Amino acid sequence: MNQTRISSRKKIYRAAFFLMPLLALTFFGFVSEGSDAEFYLKIYRGIDVYGKVYKEVAVNYVDTLNPEEFMRAGIDGMLKTLDPYTVFIGEKENDEIDLITTGKYGGVGVTIGFRDGYITVINLLEGFSAAKQGVEVGDRIIEVEGKTTKGISLEAIRQLVRGAPGTEMKMKVEREGEKKPIDFVLMREEISVHNIAYAGYVEDGVGYIRLERFSRTAGDDLRNAIKDLRAKGELKELVLDLRDNPGGLLESAVEVVSKFVPENSLIVSTRGRKSGSERKYTSSEAPMVHDLPLAVLVNRFSASASEIVSGAIQDLDRGVVVGTRTFGKGLVQTIIPLSENSSIKMTSAKYYTPSGRCIQEIDYGHRDGDGNGTIVPDSLKREFRTVHNRRVWESGGILPDTIVSDSPHSTFLNELNRKAMFFKYANHYAAENKTLPDNFEVTQKQIEDFAIFLKENGFECEEEGEAKLKELRTLATDARYDKSFVDGIEKLETILKGDKGKQIYRYQDEIRLALKTEILARMKGDKARFESTFPSDRQLQTAVRILKSKKIFDKLLGMKGK
């Protein structure tokens, strides 16, 4: 028993030693100018109290605790009082840091996700072990390295799949149309994540580049994509698509903007708590496409580095921003090593676009009664000016120069997506059809086949009308409305129930496009998938029309009469 107690104490001391770098970081990182002895004293007292609480609970709590896990809980608890981007990074999460900073990781070339409650292969990287050895999109992963995937988190599966290049990984899958599970022995390789998902021409002269992330090589990848476009045709206008791009490295965002703006242009600046902490980032290279008409596509999921790029292009009046308001993340994180296997990713500054505005939407320093960060109301947002004296505003992300809403979705379509019915049907279709014609289109017969597929798979969806009528009936009953009123509601419910079978035909245009996109992606790859969406992409087509009209383009950028 004494030996156990000594061993426990040794673990505690090791964990306490591990905590000191974090506390030191907290100590030095949060000291502002004008700090005095009282401020330092409060920190020392906090360290002392925290250490004592940790030790007493770890040693004397009624149940045995894991000292490392208990320490991690304490660290996570501290950081939760800040913003959601300041996090502790342990050994298990280090692969994600490598992915962000280098754009590389060791894996077999599969993208996985949950589909209908199963860990499922949702994409394959061409040229890597999984694709070469016959893994298919839609395969359900039931075992990895001999461990069942049932009840295991997606992140835990990712950790099992990834590993050092050159090592083997065993995986067992279930596949539609196959009676028995299939075993694979895959070889892990170094995988470079592609920043650019697609580069090509939307129509004659109009180039289109889909930039999906900002890893270390984003600037070089963009340069090569522009060179390839020029090699394939005459590049007259360009659309840079940043929709759904969550961001990445600030330096990579600067490199991307540098391809479009004059050398030495201010692109972004950052400022932390300390005086003199401001840092300015300027373009240090001659632009590749200095005067080419440019449009940038954004939406509510364009964040961080995507907002640095779109904000700089807008403030410098270098191009038009099209789409919907962006996410509103104007905070900069710095990754600071704490030990050999751990780091802290800490918000160290805010960034400001060339006009001087910070687009951060949520103020985590001021919280409401429920503990949530506050949002600056529109009436209090300050106005800034672009190079051509156009008005732009701080906070709340980047507001596009031309607002084009996303394609409207009904509850029915949203449920089809959420329950992966398009994805599943594409797997079913690919299993029955090994080839696809070049001019593939979804026929009426396939729409009807999809309706049967939904029924066979037990798909159900309560539409908004049904939900509202239920609410109204409950309200009427509770308020003791006349029976004839309640009977009228029930009649409407009956009519609506009878119309449910026609949902698929009411939305058949949207369903036809979704099925075509999924089937093409499954059988002909991502290039075909992207190109199939171009004609119906309202935001992209609006951007193309603006670029094709010099009068509209110049007017939007405040160049009328110049």
Q: What is the CA radius of gyration of the chain?
A: 28
Q: Which two tokens stand for residue 136?
A: 């298919």
According to the 3-state scheme, what is the secondary structure of 277-311? CCEEEECCCCCCCCCCCEEEEECCCCCCHHHHHHH
CA distances for 462 relative to 117, 336, 452, 496, angstroms: 20, 48, 18, 11
Amino acid identity at 133:
Q
User: What's the token pair of residue 293?
Assistant: 């008409």
| Residue 162: closest CA among 186, 182, 183, 143 | 186
Q: Is 304 among the residues known to form the active site?
A: yes
Contact (CB, 8 A) for 86 and 347: yes
Enumerate the H helices of 264-410 as residue ranges: 305-315
Q: Report how far residue 439's alpha carbon sits from residue 157's, in angstroms, rounded to the nearest whole number.
A: 38
Residue written as token pair 């396939």: 446
Which residue in the list 172, 329, 419, 516 is annotated as catalytic?
329
Q: Fill in the DSSP letter of residue 502.
A: G
Out of 304, 306, 342, 532, the active site residue is 304
Read off the tokens for 419: 């329950």
Structure tokens at 227: 């060179």
Catalytic, 274? Answer no
Active-site residue (options: 83, 221, 241, 315) = 315
Contacts with 138 (C-beta within 8 Å, 6 or more apart), sequence order: 120, 121, 175, 176, 423, 424, 426, 427, 430, 522
Q: Can 497 be counted among the known catalytic residues?
A: no
Of the candidates 260, 291, 359, 210, the residue with the CA atom closest to the CA atom of residue 559? 291
Catalytic residues: 304, 315, 329
